[in-house]
Amino acid sequence: MKIVFAGTPEFAAQAMRAIDAAGHQIVLALTQPDRRAGRGMHLQASPVKEFALEKNIPVLQPESLKRNSTDSSKQLEAQAAYAQLAHTDFDVMVVVAYGLILPQEILDLAEAPPRLGCFNIHASLLPRWRGAAPIQRAIEAGDLKTGVSIMKMDAGLDTGDTVLVREIEIANHETSATLHDRLASLGAELINETLRLLESRGPLHTTAQLSDGVTYAEKILKNEADIDWSLSAAEIDYRIRAFNPFPGANSSAVGVTFKFWNSRVASQERSFPVGQPGQVLGVHDEGVYIQCGKDVIEILEMQRPGGKRMPASAILQPIMAQHNAVHFQRESVD
């Protein structure tokens, strides 16, 4: 099949590579404009663009797809993108973490016979966690399961009918990084299964999303990662793992702001001295125990500013040797 692919990050690129490997022809790629990143703040192409260039696939990178934009330069870009889409010979449009809202007129292009429509890979069990950050929000909320939904797109925010849904369990040690990789692999598998169904030209069975259980996965903001030690150990553990790799949970002690990358709730079988929220209660070979508003959390991996990720005990033991007490505090208060 001939595919127009719209996506930006590695999650999308994995699906793109799987579609190409399955023998489909990606005739056009849409992705976000190059962004400055890294220490040198050099312009970097998205993973989707990198793969497209490798395969000699034409690339469009408009700032917007709204032809009625009040910004004249964005309007011209959108008009050019629409014209190229309208004159491209394709069967299906696939959208994965693109980052731009598709206007109804773009969806209409993808639906115009003999085209078969626009399909999205979404990393949640819709209607739970519609929106920008479904992987992180599922872990932050303490969900026990998540999955991938293949959705036929409409003009709403992740409101379209689903074609395929596959569920997986969220492990109690899961970070957003590890869950991302599992869901990316599953999404690539399911989109190819969807394309096989479409290629057969048989009836495509879709399921309307339930009106109950709708939740929204708002974009992750950096200030959310400032640890509030008055929360329970379970809530803090969820957040530390949810914000790995971005933006990285953080907290300050002895005048230094540390990143926290991995954790678990301390065993109830261990006994600890009574401490204040944020107070380090002890260090052992595997981790560091810190008092929370309820229960104790065991921090397993940390990072100094400019340093590498290390076992938390290797960072805290020298500090504990120099200070009678170490107490972590929030950088800011809401």
Tokens of residue 233, six digits? 């150990």
In a shared domain, residues 235 and 163? no
Question: For the chain, how many structural domains are there in total?
Answer: 2
Among 34-38, 82-86, 131-135, 183-187, whose mean pLDDT is lowest?
34-38
Known binding residues: 124-127
Q: What is the pLDDT at residue 41?
A: 76
Taking only the tens place, the pLDDT of each residue in 138-187 is 999 999 999 999 999 999 999 999 999 999 999 999 999 999 999 999 99
Residue 333 lies in a domain: no
Tell me which of 180, 198, 217 is where a domain ends: 217
Contact 117, 111 (CB under 8 A): yes
Alpha carbons 248 and 262: distance in angstroms, whole number: 10
Position 282 pLDDT exceeds 60: yes
Position 38 pLDDT exceeds 90: no
For residue 92, the cross-strand partners are: 3
In a shared domain, residues 193 and 228? no
| Location of structure tokens 């849409």 | 30
Q: What is the pLDDT at residue 268?
A: 83
In a shared domain, residues 25 and 111? yes
- List the Cα angle 163/211/224 in 5-degree steps: 90
**321 Cβ neighbours under 8 A, 6+ residues apart:** none
Residue 139 main-chain phi, psi, to 5 deg: -70, -45
Residue 103, class by beta-carbon neighbours within 10 Å (0-12 exposed, 13-18 middle, 19+ buried)? middle
Q: What is the pLDDT at residue 127?
A: 97
Position 250 pLDDT exceeds 70: yes
Its pTM stands at 0.93
pLDDT band at 332 (very low <50, low <70, confident <90, very high): low
Known binding residues for (6S)-5,6,7,8-tetrahydrofolate: 124-127
Residue 332 lies in a domain: no
Taking only the tens place, the pLDDT of each residue in 288-330 is 999 999 999 999 999 999 999 999 999 999 999 898 889 999 8
Tell me which of 217, 248, 278 is where a domain ends: 217
Give the range of the structural domain holding residue 146, as residue numbers without chain letter.
Answer: 2-217
Alpha helices in the chain (DSSP H): 10-21, 47-54, 72-86, 104-111, 134-140, 176-199, 233-242, 312-322
